[in-house]
A and B are shown apart, each in its own frame.
Chain A
């Protein structure tokens, strides 16, 4: 009997969370398109989400590109396909690893920061203060972060793609003995614009997810410092899971013939 009650409560709780997230997303998107728009806040958020994430995204992309080159070389040597290293590094980075790795790194950094900031504002009544000052928290706090996330992630992924391919190039030419000129030529010849643009489209969705999860968990945090800590963890976990799930869905939509 107690077990049934427990299951019932869990199911109810899941439905309540889904409903609350759906309403939050609706309000967030609505207020993103309705005036007023806070240009200064959007730029501030773009700096926080984009510029400040450059080191972590750049380093991750470089090492991922390098490791990918090594793996393809070792794996490809089993059936004399070592020459495909440059092409597969370019394809793997632009289509998949660039957007996903960059987004996961940004999710860890930015979702947590957004949830902590908005969560602290919630528990210290700063969000109530915004409301009493006739300022809609969705417009002032959520919309600038959503816009910054959607705009900035594709820009970060362009940089991640470039540095990732460069990582493969450095390992390929310095460690695996590829000719630099032919490595670059193979990369340029093989890669198509659609490969890059599909990755950028995915990253815009991932940027939305990162900002939304940070805002959502921060906005509904309660219970003081412990609640803010919980919101931060939940933001990172849900953002990461949703990014990977969305990646599968988008990949199947974009690349299935």
Chain B
């Protein structure tokens, strides 16, 4: 297997109207490793993830996956690239109109054209991997708790054994225990699938648990990048303020003055 980075972002800029959200993001993700991007609300985490996935097109810069330039990739080539990726959305983003098993098997049915019976069997296996029994397979997503929806979302993300899995705020909205359960599942599933993982979060407990590497984004730029175990000795005042959750420090929240 190649030692080249799996994902490389170079000088990626993205603006919405007059607001520049990404100001030259540079990032590398090694193959088979888990990178967590941390940062406050509005710092550009989600936009970074959406640019890699192709949900947003950068204004300039380069994003390479497996050495292939993906900015501007469209149609069948984009679909082919996406079929090797999985994504766990912040709110799970399960399809209301489909039962749980069809949500999990969606990629297998639509992209890999598996027979429904075979796809259902795989979906139930994947549900078991995230700790859910076959009895929920026929339920509607709306009948599940938030934690269970996240697990189903995780099962969907790993269903096609992707090369890269993205996690968007995987523990947001969950109680600490369920958050930790999801973190453990992410670690186990990513190891089991052998995928490269990219997560974004502002939950430091989650970042420490699921990340081999951590990068911090602030005002659209990566201001620190290193091994997860080195983050406490980063020497970067922005990172230190963020990981300790201090109100005082170089990061000033935008507040409305009366």
A binds B: yes
Kindly state the separation between the CA atoms of A126 and B93 in the bound complex, as whole angstroms.
Answer: 5
Interface string of B99-114 (1 = CB under 8 A from A): 0000000110011000
Q: Does A133 contact B89, Cβ atoms closer than 8 Å?
A: no
Partner of B83, one of A125, A128, A129, A134: A134
**Interface assignment of A182: CB less than 8 Å from any CB of chain B:** no
Q: Does A133 contact B91, Cβ atoms closer than 8 Å?
A: no
Partner of A132, one of B55, B94, B96: B55
Known: A134-B107, A134-B110, A135-B111. A128 touches B82 (CB 8 A): no
Interface string of B63-107 (1 = CB under 8 A from A): 000000000000000011011011101110111110000000011
Known: A133-B106, A133-B107. A125 touches B79 (CB 8 A): no
**Interface assignment of B53: CB less than 8 Å from any CB of chain A:** yes
Kindly state the separation between the CA atoms of A125 and B156 in the bound complex, as whole angstroms.
Answer: 15
Residues of A within 8 A of B166 (CB): 132
Kindly state the separation between the CA atoms of A117 and B94 in the bound complex, as whole angstroms.
Answer: 13
Kindly state the separation between the CA atoms of A134 and B55 in the bound complex, as whole angstroms.
Answer: 11
Kindly state the separation between the CA atoms of A134 and B107 in the bound complex, as whole angstroms.
Answer: 7
Kindly state the separation between the CA atoms of A121 and B89 in the bound complex, as whole angstroms.
Answer: 13
Q: Say which size band chain A's interface belongs to.
A: 10 to 19
Kindly state the separation between the CA atoms of A141 and B95 in the bound complex, as whole angstroms.
Answer: 12
Q: Does B89 contact A129, Cβ atoms closer than 8 Å?
A: yes
Residues of B within 8 A of A125 (CB): 89-91, 93
Known: A134-B107, A135-B110. A129 touches B82 (CB 8 A): no
Kindly state the separation between the CA atoms of A131 and B106 in the bound complex, as whole angstroms.
Answer: 12
Scoring A125, A128, A129 by chain B CB atoms within 10 A of each residue's CB, the highest score goes to A129
Residues of A within 8 A of B93 (CB): 124-126, 128-129
12 A-B pairs within 8 Å (CB atoms) are namely: A124-B93, A126-B93, A126-B95, A126-B96, A128-B89, A129-B95, A131-B82, A132-B82, A132-B87, A133-B107, A133-B110, A134-B110
**Given A124-B91, A132-B55, A133-B107; 11 other pairs, CB 8 A cutoff:** A125-B89, A126-B93, A126-B95, A126-B96, A129-B95, A131-B54, A131-B55, A132-B85, A132-B86, A134-B111, A140-B110
